[in-house]
Every structure is written in structure tokens, then in C-alpha cells.
Amino acid sequence: MSTAKKFPHNIYSLSEADQQPCTVMLCAFEGWNDAGSAATEVIDYLMRVFPAEPIAGFNTESFYSFTESRPHLESSADGTGKIIWPELRCVALQVRENLQLLVVSGPEPNVQWRSFATALLQYAQQLSVDHLLFLGSLLEEIPHTRPFPVSVSSYTSKLRAFEGVQVQSYSGPTGIVGVLALMAEDYPMTDVSCWVSIPHYAGLPPHPKATFALLQTVESILDIQVPHGRILQEVQAWEDGAEALLEEDPELAAYVRELESQSENLVQFSGEDIAAELEQYLRRREE
């Protein structure tokens, strides 16, 4: 079972605004940013357990190539049908007092990313959003038998003062989540990105263990309580299936044991240890 990092305070309760209502936009996108569908499943789960009210979005048709993100055709027994076009879902959730939670989810856009990011951030600004919370999931070399790590980072300096919020330091190919997080600097909103790591050998959706790890992180950050009953059952079923697979595949079991050994060695050098070593190094340079 995964264990989310607990933040000592709700990171969106910023000093003088502690008791003031705030609006948070929670975003997750299908595709490159969403290994195992873990990030978008958090949105789906929240929409199942909290009262949800659709809100007007903005026109996104020009941001999708329908030969890449194809629309779905649904036909009925009576000979009628409808087309489900790729677009964003925009919903308001009632989760607790003093917090308006807006969730945005849908396929990652195919074209005109800069225009899409500008449109989404302006849309958030029109809705008086104070904070942007982005979710993502990625494949890594970790064992499925250990808690799935969730990294929490921000480009907003005042949020990095909170324990557990890291400097956003990734460099390399990015998805729309990375673009939005950086572009948010130009708007009067803070940004936080949460990424859960998933075993690369078990990345097919659904991935309830990864979803649960992200969900716990969202709970901690927003200081909300989410009913866990259904997802805990899904996590247990997933773990049982993974164990059965190891029993059937000795080579995979050996590989998982190797990853477990590597994971245990990494634990010996925690983030606190590394920070302490760095601090000592900097002091030696000043002497």
C-alpha cells in the first residue's frame, strides 16, 4: 500500500489568507503525461465521490487533430447515435468549506500548445483561480512491491517554503503539464505539480495503486478527506494480481527482487542526507 508524504500544513493556506476562501484548479491530461491513466483516474474518482457540477469551458476544437485524437461514435439499438468529440471536461466539486475545487481533464492537445496553454490559463484567471495543481504519472524502474513515490514541485518560490515541495528542476522533453506549470509564472496564480512513478514493466491501465498514491497527495495538499473504500478494494485486487503474475513468471520475479534491492540501497541516502552533505560542502567552500 502506498504512503503519501504528509505536508505539515495545507500548502494553499498561505499565512494571512489562512481562513479565506480560495479556488484551486486541478488538471490532468490523457496521453504522455498519464502513464497507466493514473493521473486522470484521480479526477474520475473525485467526480464519483463528491457532488459535481459541470461548468462552461472554452472552445478547444482547434487544439486537436482528429486523426490523432479520434472522436468516438456511440450507436444505440434504436438506430440513433452520437459522436463524443475530444474536449476538456470542466467541473466544479464540493469538497469542503472555503475551497472551490475546479477540475479540468481531457486528452493532451495535439497542436498549438502555446495557444492552448494561454487559453487555459486565461480561462483559469477568468474563474478567479488562485492555485493550479497539476497531476502526472510516468514510468520508472521501481518495484511494484514498494510504495510508489510521488514528487511534488513548484516554480512558485513561496510554495517551496513548505516541507515536501521541491524546486521544479526537470529538464528534457515535456508534456502539456510542464508547459502549463512554467507558463503559469506569467499569471497571478501559483503552480504545483505532482508526479507519481509507476513500474515500467506494469504500466498498463488501470493502475489503482498509482492513482491512490496521487489521491493521497492531493488530499494532503488540499487538506480534504476523500472516501477510500472503493479504491482500496481496487488497490488490493491489483496487488493480488501482480503477485499472481510473479508466481507464474520466475524471470520477472527475479527482476523485481533486483529492483527491490536497488530501492533499499537508495533509501540509505535520503533527501535529508543529501541536503546535509550539500550544506557541509558549501560551508567548506566558504571557509
Closest CA to 26 of 120, 167, 148, 142: 120
SS3 254: helix
Contact 137, 194 (CB under 8 A): no
| Between residues 96 and 51, the one the model is more confident about | 51
Mean pLDDT computed over 185-212: 92
Give the per-residue pLDDT at 157: 87
Instruction: Kindly indicate the confidence band of residue 265, based on its pLDDT and cuts at 50, 70 and 90.
Output: low
Mean pLDDT computed over 164-181: 91
Domains of the chain in sequence order: 15-227 (3.40.50.10900)
Cell of 272: 535529508
Give the per-residue pLDDT at 249: 87
Answer yes or no: is pLDDT of 209 > 50.
Answer: yes
> What is the Cα gyration radius of the chain?
20
48-71 pLDDT per residue, tens: 999 999 999 999 999 999 999 999
pTM as predicted: 0.84
3-32 pLDDT per residue, tens: 444 444 456 554 334 557 889 999 999 999
SS3 136: strand
CA 150 to chain centre: 9
Closest CA to 214 of 92, 33, 57: 33
Instruction: Kindly indicate the confidence band of residue 177, based on its pLDDT and cuts at 50, 70 and 90.
Output: very high
Answer yes or no: is pLDDT of 40 > 90.
Answer: yes
Least confident interval from 139-153, 230-244, 251-265? 251-265
Q: Which residue's entry shows cell 513468471?
A: 249
Answer yes or no: is pLDDT of 130 > 60.
Answer: yes
151 beta partners: 195
Least confident interval from 100-104, 146-150, 161-165? 161-165
Give the per-residue pLDDT at 267: 43
Answer yes or no: is pLDDT of 275 > 80.
Answer: no
What span, in angstroms and rounded, lies between the C-alpha atoms of 230 and 205? 17
Give the per-residue pLDDT at 277: 39
Q: Between 208-222 and 38-49, two packed helices, what is the crossing angle to 10 degrees? A: 60
SS3 131: strand
Give the per-residue pLDDT at 5: 46
Least confident interval from 94-98, 116-120, 177-181? 94-98
**DSSP 8-state assignment for residue 5:** P
